Structure 1
Amino acid sequence: MLMLRYFCRFAALTLCLLLLKDDVHAQDVYAAWRSDWLKKAESYKPSLKETVKNPVGIVKIEKDASAFQGFKAVPAGSIAKLYNVTFNKNTSGTVVDFGEHLTGYCTITLKTRRNVMDAPLRLKLTFGEVPAEIATPFDPYPGSLSRAWLQDETVTVTVLPATITIPRRVAFRYLKIDWLGSSPGFEFGITGISVKATTSAKQTPPALAGSTPVIIKDIDRVGLNTLKECMQTVYEDGPKRDRRLWIGDTYLESLANSWSFHNDSLTKHCLYLLAGLANEDGILSADVFEAPVPQSHKTHLLDYCYLYNLALKEYVAATGDKQTGLDLWPVAKKQLDIARKYALPDGMMDYEKANREWWVFFDWKDGLDKQAPLQGITIFTLNQTYELAKMLGKQHEVADLPAFARKLKDAARKNMYDKQSGLFVSGKNKQVSYAGQAWMILAGVATKSEAQRALTALPTLNDAVRPGAPYMEHYYIAALIAAGLNIEAKQAVIDYWGAMVKKGADTFWEVYDPADEFKSPYGFFPVNSYCHAWSCTPVYFIRKYPDIFQR
């Protein structure tokens, strides 16, 4: 009888465990697809093109109030000048210029010039994307991000000759070499420096029309360099810092890629990877890592979830690859739950609740009220996801989207459009912002004439909240084009990205505020990324709209 009782308890426990196991799997809405998505992500992972690059000369970093962030690089001799002299405390602080932004692995070759090396040799290497990064002391470090993102390395060598490859991948143009110590009387020299540069961009984009203005050609060239550097095995947001896959950057990079390098496998790799690493409730993580194994960061960023749908739709439209669209349709469809959760009965999005429960981003801009942008991007996403559904023959699964989008659109017009000023307002304080106008116009809330009136008025308003980074500037340009303000769109690209070119940009920057060159979301401008994915999109505009930009 006792054995029977134990057997019954064991059977009951086993049944509970089996039920619990089934319940766990039931909670993962992607359990049936996740493994396949990750396998496909791996199969589309691009190989990297490796190119050996050598420095072009030596420079001095000098103060110049008219230069970007107050410093400029001035030629100071050929690279042979470095290779043919003894390196010691008198040559410490030498800055090598590679002539272009590179992402890769740096190798330095050293040899003895005189006497015996009877003590270790120690050097400090500082890699910088812009001159001010080389000139600004990193310590004491005041930033909010990890100090380790700053690219300085200490190298200790015990035997010469030696060829040393820095294990860490770096992203830079300038390399400063400081002598930290060696034995008295011992002399050594640097005989070679090179970088094995990497990118997954392999095709050469077609040339622009001969009629293209020089400044537009320069903007396109720097944009292509930015995109190329960020195209590693994923669309990295920045090859110097973060070095991971974010949905928002993926959307913008994939747009530019579709009109330039056509590296479609990279886009597929990223879309499948994001899907395979989504949360078990079906909602996407905003960013993911590939190493040491694919894993998500569990970052909840509301507008980025929407942008996944836009990226998938644009990919299918650009390539005709419906199979990828069908594979990933469950993910796009699931992100719509966000809109349904926060839509109030009157058609307004519950911004206050969403902002409590999510990171609602839109821009690096303090004080930006995000009610209007949220309403706009939700409408835009509903419409674009329905277009994707029609491409895939899935519109019957989301038949409610057109009516849902119209309800939100009507609510936006009723509650956010100021007929007297012709502008969209956001929040309790009726804030007017570039972000609010852009997303309302892209969502189709404004008529074409209303859109033109709003966008024309914006630059005349001193209190309108301007974009804080190239990321939001992209959507402003897109809104100008949607409104038919083509001349204004072209001039806005020239004024914003062209200003970075004129200030010496090799690649476009994560943050650029013409009124504050030292602006940093992280409390220390050297930790900013000066080659950043979301800044590359002039490539998309210039090449998609040649009648606007190539004349």
Structure 2
Amino acid sequence: MTSTLARIYTSLLLFSIITFTSTQITAQDLYAPFRQAWLKKAEEYKPTLTETIKHPVGVVKLEKDAAAFQGWKAVNAGGIEQLYNKSFNQKSSGLVVDFGEHMTGYCTFTLKTLRGDMDAPLRLKLTFGEVPAELATPFDPYPGGLSRAWLQDETVTVSVLPATVTILRRVAFRYVKIEWLGSSSGFEFGFSDIQFKASTSVTVTPPELAATTSPIIKEIDRIGLATLKECMQTVYEDGPKRDRRLWIGDTYLESLANLYSFKNDALTKRCLYLLAGLSNEDGILNANVFELPEPHPQKSRLLDYCFLYNVALKEYVAATGDKQTGLDLWPVAKKQLDIAKMYSGADGMMDYVKAGKEWWVFFDWKDGLDKQAPLQGIAIYTLNQTYALAKLLGKENEVAELPAMAKKLKEAAHKNLYDKTTGLFISGPNKQVSYGGQAWMILSGVASKAEAQKALKALPAVTDAVHPGAPYMYHYYIAALIESGLKAEAKEALTSYWGGMVKKGADTFWEVYDPNDELKSPYNFFPVNSYCHAWSCTPVYFIRKYPEIFQQ
């Protein structure tokens, strides 16, 4: 009897230990049972990059021009034979080679001896630029707020000729400036070849736009596609020159454009699984992740990006019918809703002050933007979009409270943020009027269609309204115009803003664009800006999703 009781006691003790340990693991990492499977799936959908050898189209010289973008333009200075058929020395230092298009990948060049014996090493500096001003502006002393190493200048020392040299660093550029830093006077050398191995995961060509499409819209679409193609590497990169990682906000916009162009659904799936697999142990997503040396997150709490993950997942499932991916990642989407619940008060208003202290709340590269209205709007939008995802997956019963919560926040927003006198939505203690505030009040459904149209039509006349600081917020403004039924205004806004970049010579669309301040930089030095940036590609989405607006 004693022996039997002892065995029972031992069994109960072991069960308690196992249960306690299991509970502790769960408490420590909400997704512990799923992470490895998610990361395995992300790896399975990793694309093989398409590589293409590109050759330069000629040589250019940089000229100051007050009318050119950032004050500099590239002027044709002849064929590439100017590099190949001459000795390269101090006199030819600073020659700029033009590849004719924006590319991402690896540069290789071959050097040869022209006269004498190489009795000392030679040294060259290659600077890769996306835009002319990048090559015309001294990098040092460096005033920027990001690492100086993001700037694409590389010094190469060669000891034996002939030699073929590949720059180990991946670069993104159109132009390369070659400078002579030193060589012996006892010999002469020159270039016999320079080429570039360009990479992208894109393998298809989207359909042509309708013949009725205006030339400027066609150009915007072409450059938008080039932007998206360059950013579609083994993940949706935010920019192939700088950052070069997977951000949720960029991924959402890239995936929208991809749905209506390259249709690489596997890349979207990879990114959704990768972000889930590298989320925090409490279940909250990190804003961005790295692929190398192995997939890992940058610990970054960005509130509005957590919300946009849910929207991206919903859009993916709705477009592809891939419910299995939706079901796999549903726990992640459901968990992000805790953020909205955490900061929504009894009065139905989001506590944007507290959220701003505890999180990075982004929305736009715009100093002075009050975040109350955008945060209230995106919270409502996320609740509604997540409920739509739940319906697609048959999970409504798990989030049955969402419609009522969204309604409460919506009614509170209209009560507290709508100025009936002006017909505009305000934000914060100073009652700020902003393009972002109107956009998110409209996209969330707080504004009726009549109110939305009134607000957007009144907005341009508000002299102190806070304008978008980057194409990122401009996307949501265009989306709000379309949602409001202001089709002509949407077309005009897209043509004016992105068309402005086209007219200023863009090969790909830029991270930051303020028509009134071409040198604007969130990093205190415009050459470190990204001039091929993911969140700028969305004209492709608008133009192709709404042909009745943009292709007529």
Residue 264 (structure 1) aligned with residue 265 (structure 2): yes
Q: 2: CA distance between counterparts of 1:513 and 1:123?
A: 35
Q: 2: CA distance between counterparts of 1:272 and 1:46?
A: 14
Aligned residue in 1 for 2:389: 388
Alpha-carbon distance, 1:186 to partner: 1.0
Matches within 5 A, 1:344-363: 344-363=345-364
Aligned residue in 2 for 1:402: 403
Q: 1: CA distance between counterparts of 2:551 and 2:262?
A: 18
Q: 2: CA distance between counterparts of 1:21 and 1:539?
A: 48
Percent identity reads 75
Aligned residue in 1 for 2:77: 76
Q: 1: CA distance between counterparts of 2:19 and 2:126?
A: 57
Q: 1: CA distance between counterparts of 2:54 and 2:319?
A: 34
Aligned residue in 2 for 1:8: none
- The aligned amino acid for 2:254 is E
Q: 1: CA distance between counterparts of 2:188 and 2:151?
A: 30
Aligned residue in 2 for 1:378: 379
Q: 2: CA distance between counterparts of 1:306 and 1:502?
A: 35
Matches within 5 A, 1:143-542: 143-542=144-543
Alpha-carbon distance, 1:21 to partner: 7.2
Q: 1: CA distance between counterparts of 2:33 and 2:423?
A: 50
Q: 2: CA distance between counterparts of 1:194 and 1:536?
A: 27
Give the 3 Å change call, closer, same or farther, for CA 22–388 of structure 1 in structure 2.
Answer: closer
- The aligned amino acid for 1:108 is F
* Contact 2:59/2:98 (8 A) holds in 1: yes
Task: Specify every segment of 5 or more residues in structure 1 that has no aligned partner in the other structure, as ranges.
Answer: 1-10
- The aligned amino acid for 1:191 is S
- The aligned amino acid for 1:159 is V
Q: 2: CA distance between counterparts of 1:383 and 1:474?
A: 20
Q: 1: CA distance between counterparts of 2:115 and 2:387?
A: 73
Give SS of 1:74's match.
strand
* Contact 2:119/2:186 (8 A) holds in 1: no
Aligned residue in 2 for 1:6: none
Alpha-carbon distance, 1:22 to partner: 5.0
Alpha-carbon distance, 1:23 to partner: 1.1
Count of paired positions? 540
Alpha-carbon distance, 1:24 to partner: 3.5
Alpha-carbon distance, 1:67 to partner: 0.1
Aligned residue in 1 for 2:3: none
- The aligned amino acid for 2:50 is K
Alpha-carbon distance, 1:25 to partner: 3.8
Give SS of 2:454's match.
helix
* Contact 2:276/2:332 (8 A) holds in 1: yes
* Contact 2:64/2:71 (8 A) holds in 1: yes
Q: 1: CA distance between counterparts of 2:355 and 2:428?
A: 14
* CA offsets 1:431-481 (integer angstroms, 9 cap, x no match): 000000000000000110100000001111110000000000000000000
Q: 2: CA distance between counterparts of 1:146 and 1:159?
A: 33
Alpha-carbon distance, 1:82 to partner: 1.0
Aligned residue in 2 for 1:101: 102
TM-score after normalising by structure 2: 0.96
Give SS of 2:77's match.
strand
Alpha-carbon distance, 1:26 to partner: 2.9
- The aligned amino acid for 1:536 is C
Q: 2: CA distance between counterparts of 1:94 and 1:203?
A: 35
Q: 1: CA distance between counterparts of 2:48 and 2:477?
A: 34
Q: 1: CA distance between counterparts of 2:75 and 2:161?
A: 32
- The aligned amino acid for 2:462 is L
* Contact 2:95/2:177 (8 A) holds in 1: yes
Q: Give the RMSD, CA atoms, in angstroms.
A: 1.4
Alpha-carbon distance, 1:272 to partner: 0.1
Q: 2: CA distance between counterparts of 1:83 and 1:196?
A: 19
Give the 3 Å change call, closer, same or farther, for CA 20–397 of structure 1 in structure 2.
Answer: closer
TM-score after normalising by structure 1: 0.97
Q: 2: CA distance between counterparts of 1:44 and 1:34?
A: 16
Q: 1: CA distance between counterparts of 2:250 and 2:232?
A: 11
* Contact 2:25/2:32 (8 A) holds in 1: no
Alpha-carbon distance, 1:113 to partner: 0.4
Task: Specify every segment of 5 or more residues in structure 2 that has no aligned partner in the other structure, as ranges.
Answer: 1-12
Moved over 6 A (4+): none
Q: 2: CA distance between counterparts of 1:254 and 1:44?
A: 15
Q: 2: CA distance between counterparts of 1:191 and 1:59?
A: 18
Alpha-carbon distance, 1:19 to partner: 4.8
* CA offsets 1:498-543 (integer angstroms, 9 cap, x no match): 0000000000000000110000000000000000000000000000
- The aligned amino acid for 2:274 is L
Relative to structure 2, which stretch is displaced further, 513-522 or 22-31? 22-31
* CA offsets 1:354-394 (integer angstroms, 9 cap, x no match): 00000000000000000000000000000000001000111
Q: 1: CA distance between counterparts of 2:23 and 2:440?
A: 43
Aligned residue in 2 for 1:4: none
Q: 2: CA distance between counterparts of 1:488 and 1:363?
A: 22
Q: 2: CA distance between counterparts of 1:30 and 1:268?
A: 18
Q: 1: CA distance between counterparts of 2:196 and 2:332?
A: 40
Give SS of 1:77's match.
coil
* Contact 2:118/2:186 (8 A) holds in 1: no
Alpha-carbon distance, 1:32 to partner: 1.3
